[in-house]
Amino acid sequence: MTALQQPLIVRLNARTMPLGQEERQLLAQLKPRMVEIEGATDEEILAACRGADAIMIISAYLRTAVIHELAHCRIISRLGTGVDKIDVAEATRKGIIVTNIPGAFTEEVADHTLALLLAVARHVKSLDHEMRRGRQPRDITHFHRLSTQTAGIIGFGLIGRAVARRCRAFGMRVLACDPALTPELAAREAVTPADLDTVLAEADYLCLLCPLLPATRGMLAMPQFRKMKRTAVLINTARGELVNEDDLATALKEAVIRYAALDVFGAVNVFAADGFPTAHPLFKLDNVLLSPHMAAASQEALSDCRRRGANAVVDVLSGRWPACAVDPTVTPWFPFPAREPDRTGRSIG
Side chain identity at 175, as an amino acid letter? L
* Local confidence band at 341 (pLDDT 50, 70, 90 cut-offs): low
Rounding to the nearest 10 degrees, give the CA dihedral for residues 11, 111, 264, 17: -20
* Local confidence band at 164 (pLDDT 50, 70, 90 cut-offs): very high
Q: What is the CB-side half-sphere exposure of residue 261 using CA atoms within 13 A?
A: 24
pLDDT tens digits, one per residue of 15-36: 989 999 999 999 999 999 999 9
Angle between helices 124-132 and 106-121 (to 10 degrees): 50
Name the DSSP letter for residue 84.
T
Angle between helices 299-317 and 21-28 (to 10 degrees): 20
* The pLDDT value given to residue 42: 97
Per-domain residue ranges for the chain? 8-103+298-348, 108-290
Domains 8-103+298-348 and 108-290 share a fold: yes
User: What is the CATH number assigned to the segment(s) 8-103+298-348?
Assistant: 3.40.50.720
C-alpha–C-alpha distance, residues 203 and 234, integer Å = 9
Pair 29, 55: CB distance under 8 Å: no
* The pLDDT value given to residue 349: 36
62 vs 22, 59, 200, 322, CA distance in Å?
24, 10, 34, 20
C-alpha–C-alpha distance, residues 265 and 272, integer Å = 13
C-alpha–C-alpha distance, residues 66 and 85, integer Å = 12
pLDDT tens digits, one per residue of 230-249: 999 999 999 999 999 999 99
Kindly state the helix (H) or strand (E) to which residue 9 belongs, with its residue range: strand 8-11
Q: Is the pLDDT of residue 345 over 50?
A: no
C-alpha–C-alpha distance, residues 78 and 76, integer Å = 6
Q: Per-residue pLDDT averaged across 118-143, rounded?
A: 96
C-alpha–C-alpha distance, residues 32 and 6, integer Å = 5
* The pLDDT value given to residue 77: 98
335 vs 95, 100, 184, 321, CA distance in Å?
11, 22, 42, 12
Provide the mean pLDDT of the chain.
95
* Nearest Cα to Cα of residue 199 among 221, 222, 229, 169: 229
Strand ranges of the sheet holding 205-208, from the earlier edge strand across to the other edge: 192-193, 173-177, 150-154, 205-208, 233-236, 259-262, 288-290
User: How are beta strands 340-341 and 347-348 bridged, if at all?
Assistant: antiparallel
Name the DSSP letter for residue 325.
B
CATH superfamily label, 108-290:
NAD(P)-binding Rossmann-like Domain (3.40.50.720)
